[in-house]
Amino acid sequence: MFTRKTKSTIDSLIGMSTSIKGDVGFKGGLRIDGQINGNINAETGQPSVLVISEHAKVVGEVRAAHLIVNGEITGDVHSTELLELQPKARITGNVYYKALEMHGGALVSGKLSHDQATEETPVLKLAASSEA
């Protein structure tokens, strides 16, 4: 049903002993094991993979194409492709996703909203009636 891309390399790592206060922008792959107090944004229109490990804690909005969560996020989450919530995932905020994979034990305290692309929806037009 869903195809997984094999090109999901991690380009950058924020280690367990690292704490960042401020926004983080990235492209490609990013793994977070530490703490971030700020928004995390992947470059829009580009393939991206963000891994929030079980040791990670993020306070802020998170935006990425493919997002794998096994840690804690306090803030809204936006995934434009696939969102994987692993057993130790804890999200406090609203979640917007295109495709969702949720394992037993994952917890979301907020709204889950399926993002339906409006440009992919075909528009039906009625045939024009001709009066004679």
- Burial label for 132, CB within 10 Å (0-12, 13-18, 19+), is exposed
Q: What sign for the dihedral angle of Cα 103, 1, 123, 119?
A: positive
- pLDDT tens string, the chain, 132 residues long: the values are 455 544 568 889 999 999 999 999 999 999 999 999 999 999 998 899 999 999 999 999 999 999 999 999 999 999 999 999 999 999 999 999 999 999 999 999 999 999 765 445 555 556 665 555
pTM of the model as a whole: 0.80
Residue whose structure tokens are 């889950």:
112
Torsion of CA 100, 34, 22, 58, to 10 degrees: 40
Closest CA to 67 of 94, 85, 92: 85
